[in-house]
């Protein structure tokens, strides 16, 4: 099992001027630990699940990934996950391509239907009903696929988006893998089966994750998709390891590994994330030994 790292807290010890240097240290610490992926959030206000108020620090995600591209050399980089409402899909594909080119082929497109209404309303971003957001998500996935097809620069005609040209040069160095976030059984996991290279589930319990994986397998059967070709990841916000709980964390993750989970993504809970990553680095090797 691989370990990924997501950094949701940007109230960094030392204040605003310390954010950039600390995130550079995060990149070095993540690669030094052997983590597989490094993720940030796609938000403009801080979100309640972190335990912080909306007024807490937050940075624009793709600018942040560009900065990390210049401070890392191996680890995959993505947002967990891009809200489909925030960027026109044609521009999103170009933005992700830019991160991929500048990172030497390490960009991942994490994407979902978006959910934080306060953020949309506060910044004047349209917030369509859920059904429409899922329609837009599916069209965005189709547009990104077409933008990353060097043989198809033609038009795209959808219900919500219309592009006369899907020109994207340079093409990505490595066509970005598409991770679709969320556990919804009727829509989200169907989109994973049709368009995704990876899913991202909530690590609520092994039984719940096993159920979601059975649903995904059913959607794969319906779509004639190879279930085993999809990378399965989970987030475990409440189980982030600490040095004193690292062994218990690994034992718990072993239950998910037996279900076929390829990667667990954890969240540094402090304002000094690089130091925290260093402290749990042995967990990376322990996880690699269980699956």
**267 vs 289: CA distance, rounded Å:** 21
> Span 32-46, mean pLDDT?
98
pLDDT of residue 269: 85
Average pLDDT over residues 128-146: 98
- Parse the chain into domains and list their residue ranges: 2-289
Question: What's the whole-number average pLDDT of the chain?
Answer: 96
Q: Please state, for a pLDDT cut of 70, what percent of the chain lies above it.
A: 99
pLDDT tens string 214-224 = 999 999 999 99
Instruction: List the one residue out of 33, 28, 35 whose CA is nearest residue 3.
Output: 35
What local confidence, expressed as pLDDT, does residue 22 receive? 98
Average pLDDT over residues 76-94: 98
- pLDDT at position 253 over 80: yes
For residues 197 and 179, is the Cβ–Cβ distance under 8 A?
Answer: yes
Task: Give the C-alpha distances (Å, rounded to integers) separating 198 from 71, 159, 182, 190.
Answer: 25, 26, 11, 12
Name which CATH class applies to 2-289.
Answer: alpha beta
91 pLDDT more than 80: yes
pLDDT of 105: 98
pLDDT of residue 202: 93
Specify the pLDDT at position 243: 83
Stated pTM of the model: 0.96
pLDDT of residue 239: 65
Question: Any alpha helices (H) in the chain, and if so which ranges?
Answer: 19-33, 61-69, 89-102, 117-123, 130-147, 188-195, 206-222, 246-257, 273-280, 282-288
Q: How confident is the model at residue 6 (pLDDT cuts 50, 70, 90)?
A: very high
pLDDT digits (tens, 9 = 90+) for 189-198: 999 999 999 9
Q: Decide if 96 contacts 168 (C-beta within 8 A).
A: no
């Amino acid at each position: 099992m691989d370990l990924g790292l997501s950094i949701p807290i940007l109230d960094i010890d030392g204040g605003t001027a310390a954010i950039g240097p600390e995130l550079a240290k995060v990149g070095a610490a993540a690669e030094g630990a052997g983590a597989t992926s490094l993720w940030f959030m796609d938000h403009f206000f801080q979100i309640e699940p972190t335990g912080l108020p909306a007024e807490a620090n937050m940075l624009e995600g793709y600018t942040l990934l560009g900065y990390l591209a210049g401070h890392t050399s191996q680890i995959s980089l993505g947002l967990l996950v891009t809200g489909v409402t925030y960027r026109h899909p044609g521009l999103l594909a170009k933005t992700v391509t830019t991160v991929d080119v500048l990172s030497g082929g390490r960009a991942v497109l994490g994407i979902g239907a978006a959910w934080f209404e306060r953020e949309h309303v506060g910044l004047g971003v349209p917030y369509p009903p859920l059904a429409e957001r899922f329609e837009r998500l599916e069209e965005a996935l189709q547009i990104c696929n077409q933008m990353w097809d060097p043989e198809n620069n033609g038009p795209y005609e959808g219900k919500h988006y219309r592009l006369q040209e899907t020109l994207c040069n340079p093409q990505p160095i490595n066509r970005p893998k598409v991770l679709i976030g969320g556990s919804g059984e009727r829509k989200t996991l169907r989109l994973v089966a049709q368009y995704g290279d990876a899913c991202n589930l909530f690590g609520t319990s092994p039984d719940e994750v096993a159920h979601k994986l059975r649903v995904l397998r059913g959607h794969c059967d319906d779509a004639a998709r190879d279930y085993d070709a999809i990378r399965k990841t989970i987030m475990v916000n409440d189980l982030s390891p600490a040095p004193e709980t690292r062994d218990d964390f690994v034992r718990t993750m072993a239950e998910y590994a037996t279900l076929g989970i390829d990667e667990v993504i954890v969240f540094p809970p402090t304002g000094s994330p690089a130091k925290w990553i260093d402290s749990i680095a042995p967990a990376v090797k322990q996880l690699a030994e269980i699956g």
